[in-house]
Amino acid sequence: MSVLFQLFFAFIQVGLFSVGGGYAAIPLIQNQIVDIHKLMTLGEFTDLITIAEMTPGPISINSATFVGTRLAGIPGAVLCTLGCIIPSFIICLTLAHFYYKYRNFSGVQTVLSALRPAVVALIASAGLSILLLGLFMSDLSGITLANFRPIETCLFIGGLFLLRKYRVNAIAIIFGTGVVGTLAYSLLGMVA
């Protein structure tokens, strides 16, 4: 099967099963692209997710577009984006029709309440994967003290502190940590 078909069907599945928004789609995209089809490494995937996070728009669609572009150029970007959008578009139209018809029914509220913990778990899983890759340059199976990255850890702690304590804008934190990290590696003579 060609890469374009693999990408399209992988992102159809992501679009079908990513309940809870863009961040919930990240572990599904990782599973399809990195784990199942082995079309890119976890490091490449994390770099693309970082870029997708920094650009305007929904992260799942940005991720689909960047993955498609990286693996198959413009046709890959179009197919991945459409694959990610089409299922949600159809599902949203269908659910919106039924939601407005039955929104006062208590069973609907019960189902929505039951889905919330699963969405939190998906988002936490994506966050943990990216955190471990950033701090240890490895997934959960390869965490060792030799892989520990102290500069990235300090940047993470500093950024988290500024975000939570002083409510600094996330874009300023992303830009600032990029500048500080580049300076730190330049001063230490290391290549990031």
Location of structure tokens 């992303």 = 174
Residue 57 has a pLDDT of: 86
Task: Copy the structure tokens of residue 167.
Answer: 């409510």
Residue among 112, 128, 130 at smallest CA distance from 51? 130
Residue 192 has a pLDDT of: 44
pLDDT along the chain (192 residues), means of 10: 89 87 85 92 89 87 93 95 92 88 83 88 85 81 84 95 95 93 87 48
Q: Cα dihedral angle (136, 137, 141, 145), rounded to 10 degrees?
A: -40
pTM given for the model: 0.64
Residue 133 has a pLDDT of: 84
CA distances for 13 relative to 8, 28, 55, 67, 84, angstroms: 9, 8, 24, 15, 8
Residue 1 has a pLDDT of: 58
